[in-house]
Amino acid sequence: IRQQMNSILSALNSHAMKVICHLPTFVSTADLTDSIREASLQEMYNSLEVAAELGAVKVVLHPGHIGGLGIYIKETALAHVNESLAAIINRAQDLGLCVCLENMFPRFRAFIEPDDFTEILQCFPKLKITLDTGHANIGSQGGQRIFNFIEQFGQRIGHLHVSDNFGERDDHIPVGAGAIDFLKIIDALKRCGYNDTATLEIFSEDRREVQKSRDRFDAIFSEA
């Protein structure tokens, strides 16, 4: 990205646009091996610097994945997760970046339920949440988890990731193609005063599906 920085900034300026950056996802900030964890943190720090150079209004952060032996010594793994998160958030805030910590789904074994966010939100008053509709719907009876997030932390939600699924996998299918009740979600977000950014995370070879999802989301937003 740095090699194309000037052209990216020029394009952003010419269209009066800002960027929201997603920090690396396939790193091991919760790894039990110190050297792997430290290398992962360095990748995060490098990405934060690039985001700052781009003038990013927000950065989205995955909290980490607990796997391997960490599954069996979860307290130790969670301690590494929290230590890594604190380091990343502090570095981001030093760079003037707003961090939005994303909710995950059960396979990640960390930061899945609203209560998982309580302590870190208390420690970092400027920290926000990226509420991912698809993640919140996985393994959630009746899709209730997302409404629990909105009820408990509505004022701390700073960004949305929008995609649909059927509650079993992170399918990233278009809005309206799955089982998520977006009308009810948007109504709940409006009632808590949400009026901020959203990213459509629609993974389809037919990129027209992104525009269709935006149109559907806009229509639902107007209806709610």
Q: Are residues 87 and 8 in the same domain?
A: yes
Entry pTM: 0.95
Interval 168-209: pLDDT, tens: 999 999 999 999 999 999 999 999 999 999 999 999 999 999
Range of the domain at 29: 1-97
Residue 116 phi/psi, 5-degree rounding, is -65, -20
Structural domain tally of the chain?
A: 2
What pLDDT score does 2 carry?
87
Q: Are residues 85 and 126 in the same domain?
A: no
The strand ranges marked E within 93-189 are 99-102, 128-132, 157-162
Q: Beta strand 99-102 with 58-61: parallel, antiparallel or unpaired?
A: parallel
Interval 147-162: pLDDT, tens: 999 999 999 999 999 9
Final residue belonging to a domain, choices 40, 63, 97? 97
Q: Are residues 112 and 219 in the same domain?
A: yes
pLDDT higher than threshold 90 for residue 1: no
Helix axis angle for 182-191 and 144-153, nearest 10°, is 10
Residue 162 CB partners (closer than 8 Å, separation 6+)? 133, 175, 182, 198, 199, 200, 201, 213, 217
Is the CB of residue 166 less than 8 Å from the CB of residue 114? no
Handedness of CA 110, 112, 114, 115 (dihedral sign): negative
What pLDDT score does 19 carry?
96
- CATH number of 70's domain: 3.20.20.150
Mean pLDDT, range 69-85, rounded to an integer: 96
Mean pLDDT, range 83-107, rounded to an integer: 97
Final residue belonging to a domain, choices 77, 97, 117? 97
Q: Are residues 55 and 133 in the same domain?
A: no
Q: Find, among 42, 44, 43, 83, the residue nearest to 61 by Cα.
A: 44
